[in-house]
Amino acid sequence: MSYQQELNASKNNPEDFWKEKSEALEWFKSPQKVLTQDEHGIHHWFADGEMNTAYMALDYHVENGRADQAALIYDSPVTDTKKTYTYRELRDEVAQTAGMLKDLGVGKGDRVIVYMPMIPQAAVAMLACARIGAIHSVVFGGFAAPELALRIDDAKPKVILSASCGVEIKRIIEYKPLIDNAIKIAEHTPKNVVVYQRPEATSELSQEGDLDWVKVVSKAQPVQCTPVKGSDLLYILYTSGTTGKPKGVVRENGGHAVAMKYSMDAIYDMNPGEVFWSASDVGWVVGHSYIVYAPLLQGCTTVFFEGKPIMTPDAGAFWRVVSEYKVKALFTAPTAFRAIKKEDPKGESIKQYDLSSLETLFAAGERLDPPTYEWLNEQFKLPVIDHWWQTETGWAISANMRGIEKMPVKPGSSTVPVPGFDVHILDDNGQEVAANQQGNIAIKLPLPPSCLTSVWGDLNRFKASYLETFPGFYVSGDGGYIDDDGYLFVMGRTDDVINVSGHRLSTGEMEEIIATHPAVAECAVIGRSDELKGQMPLGFAILKSGVETDQADIKRALVQLMRDKIGAVACYKDTVIVERLPKTRSGKILRKTLRQLVDGEDYVIPSTIDDPAILDEIQQAL
């Protein structure tokens, strides 16, 4: 089948199309209703099917000839550890950990926060929740205590699963003090905090409800998979919106499993038994989908890497892993490739390894910029595939469908819409624009399987954020255009979300934090272009009159505030102190103009600007 035929099939009869895809998985009870709409008008896929994601990802393979195949390979250059888990070993560990959760009173529908570094127990934790129908919410280990507290209050977990520390290049980050602090800040108190003690740091388990992971798991009995409905939730994953309150993207079991499996065939061209490596972190959606769930649902081997593209120990780290485990497809963020390119521009380390297993490089998380694309292409002479997606969808909206038809690559484009996603470019009035014209990227409803069906606990926010801007469409928050050949070019966010090292952050949230500093009267944060990290936040602050504190001290305090409130991952390093900010006559800060000015781009002075002279003042302050 060609891409066009597959796309047509998905559009002409979506229910038949997805019903057929769902048959590739082992359901306890096959779904009879493929697509339904609830009383709020929201679509759900496979709502009445009965299944268990952990069963499909582990037990099914153990029972069907893959028991002794490697399921997960843990490789940790930061701790000098390597360990392989077969499907049987992983299933058994998950079943026993699920038993522990059950002993702690966790059941179907209960939430469990997983705040862990990149160790295999993080995957075990996620799958153990799935096994008993509990809903996991993984919180990226780099987030500071207040971010964790926000998620604790929103998800109200019964239990937090964690580890004693994360190992970064320059330091060990102890998790338990962060958790204790988060629980202190939060209103909700989980019943238990279960800590996996790592040799690099030992947590003091002195609070009520603290438990040692190994000790409690050793007392537990393995449990079987609890059947859930296709529309029951598998997980909540928080992502940055335009305000300080992150959005809890919810993912349903049925649609997720079907989309994950389909994507491994159709996008990544991966067969069972082959080795897939997504170099990301389980704290992000890429980690959920392509470190844990999709490779296992497909019967592949997944590489679980606790390291960085550089400095662990050098720019050859990725190539060492590819050659050691015979990785067929490598997926990472462009920023990681840029870091390698910067350290090793001539690709000397690439030549040191046998990379003959590698067939394709995939990039996502931010646009794969053409210079990085060209460099990769030159070094590898392999297809380098950019594909565009979001936490909200859980999988690619546009991609080069390598398992269906290997389409020519156009640098700067994430190729074509994935079957199931009906992508349109709309102007601000919701009218379709012509080819090659930029606009808002929107997806006609219904969204395909795996996409969010709500924001946890806040259906109105889901509707307001995504469905109400253009009735009948999901608005992605990204802008871009489709060219004459139907190729999609995603050019950047149209809202206050920025992308730093492939990490999605909210400038709105950063502004809320800066505004809490007693010397600050008003502020704005924008994402400025950065050669390595894609974007870096830059703050502008107007000080309150009469403030006599040294400006350098204020700037330092703001950096520290951001590290304490969001975490070091915010990469907040610079503030420009100004007298005024450019605004419209109605008082709205012209952030887009500020960003264009900082990046040295040509810009049109908005006709609504209150006083154009402010732009010169800003230019001088930079």
Least gap, CB of 475 to ligand COA (angstroms):
22
Q: Are 264 and 297 in contact (CB under 8 A)?
A: yes
Burial 386-421 (b: 16+ CB within 10 A, else e): bbbbbbbbbbbbbbbbbbbeebebbeebbbbbbbbb
* Distance from C-alpha of 313 to C-alpha of 77, rounded to nearest angstrom: 7
Task: Indicate whether 248 belongs to the interface with ligand COA (CB under 6 A).
Answer: no
* Distance from C-alpha of 568 to C-alpha of 535, rounded to nearest angstrom: 15
Task: Indicate whether 328 belongs to the interface with ligand AMP (CB under 6 A).
Answer: no
At residue 26, φ and ψ (nearest 5 deg) are -95, 100
| Residue 578, burial from CB neighbour count under 10 angstroms (0-12, 13-18, 19+) | buried
Quick one: which of 558, 570, 509, 565 has its CA closest to 181? Answer: 565
Interacting partner of 146 out of ligand COA, ligand AMP, none (Cβ under 5 to 8 A depending on kind): none
Interacting partner of 499 out of ligand COA, ligand AMP, none (Cβ under 5 to 8 A depending on kind): ligand AMP
Interacting partner of 414 out of ligand AMP, ligand COA, none (Cβ under 5 to 8 A depending on kind): ligand AMP
Interacting partner of 367 out of ligand AMP, ligand COA, none (Cβ under 5 to 8 A depending on kind): ligand AMP
Nearer residue to ligand AMP within complex by CB, 387 or 402: 387
Nearer residue to ligand AMP within complex by CB, 274 or 386: 386
Q: How many residues bind ligand AMP (CB under 6 A)?
A: 20
Task: Indicate whether 347 belongs to the interface with ligand COA (CB under 6 A).
Answer: no
* Distance from C-alpha of 163 to C-alpha of 141, rounded to nearest angstrom: 10
CA distances from 414 to 75, 234, 328, 375, 498 (A): 30, 28, 20, 17, 19
Stretch that binds ligand COA, among 77-85, 218-226, 243-251, 568-576 (CB under 6 A): 568-576
Stretch that binds ligand COA, among 125-133, 335-343, 520-528, 545-553 (CB under 6 A): 335-343
Encoded one letter per residue, x for contact with ligand AMP by CB under 6 A and - for no contact, window 345-364 reads -------------------x
355-384 positions binding ligand COA, by CB under 6 A? 365
Interacting partner of 162 out of ligand COA, ligand AMP, none (Cβ under 5 to 8 A depending on kind): none
* Distance from C-alpha of 239 to C-alpha of 505, rounded to nearest angstrom: 8
Residue 403 contacts by C-beta under 8 Å, 6 or more apart in sequence?
264, 265, 266, 267, 268, 269, 270
Least gap, CB of 557 to ligand COA (angstroms):
16
388-417 positions binding ligand AMP, by CB under 6 A? 388-391, 414
Least gap, CB of 297 to ligand COA (angstroms):
19
Stretch that binds ligand COA, among 39-47, 373-381, 476-484, 501-509 (CB under 6 A): 501-509
497-516 positions binding ligand AMP, by CB under 6 A? 499, 504
Stretch that binds ligand COA, among 90-98, 207-215, 278-286, 537-545 (CB under 6 A): 278-286
Q: Are 87 and 59 in contact (CB under 8 A)?
A: no
E strands, 410-533, in order: 416-417, 423-426, 439-444, 473-482, 488-493, 497-500, 503-506, 520-530
Task: Indicate whether 386 belongs to the interface with ligand AMP (CB under 6 A).
Answer: yes
* Exposure on the CB side of residue 160, measured as CA atoms within 13 A: 28
Stretch that binds ligand COA, among 59-67, 232-240, 333-341, 441-449 (CB under 6 A): 333-341
Q: How many residues bind ligand COA (CB under 6 A)?
A: 24
Stretch that binds ligand COA, among 193-201, 304-312, 455-463, 613-621 (CB under 6 A): 304-312
Among 131, 198, 367, 565, binds ligand AMP (CB under 6 A): 367
Q: Which two tokens stand for residue 464?
A: 């307001």
Q: Which two tokens stand for residue 410?
A: 């156009």
Would you list the DSSP string of 438-454? Answer: -EEEEEESSP-TTS---
440-499 positions binding ligand AMP, by CB under 6 A? 477-478, 490, 493, 499
CA dihedral 361, 365, 367, 371 (to 10 degrees): -50
At residue 146, φ and ψ (nearest 5 deg) are -65, -35
Stretch that binds ligand COA, among 220-228, 306-314, 486-494, 514-522 (CB under 6 A): 306-314
* Distance from C-alpha of 387 to C-alpha of 378, rounded to nearest angstrom: 19
Instruction: Reduce the DSSP state of residue 278 to 3 states and report it.
Output: strand
Give me the residues that bind ligand AMP (CB under 6 A), please. 239, 284-285, 364-367, 386-391, 414, 477-478, 490, 493, 499, 504
Give me the residues that bind ligand COA (CB under 6 A), please. 141-142, 166, 168, 173, 280-281, 284, 286, 308-310, 332-333, 335-336, 339, 365, 501-503, 568-569, 571
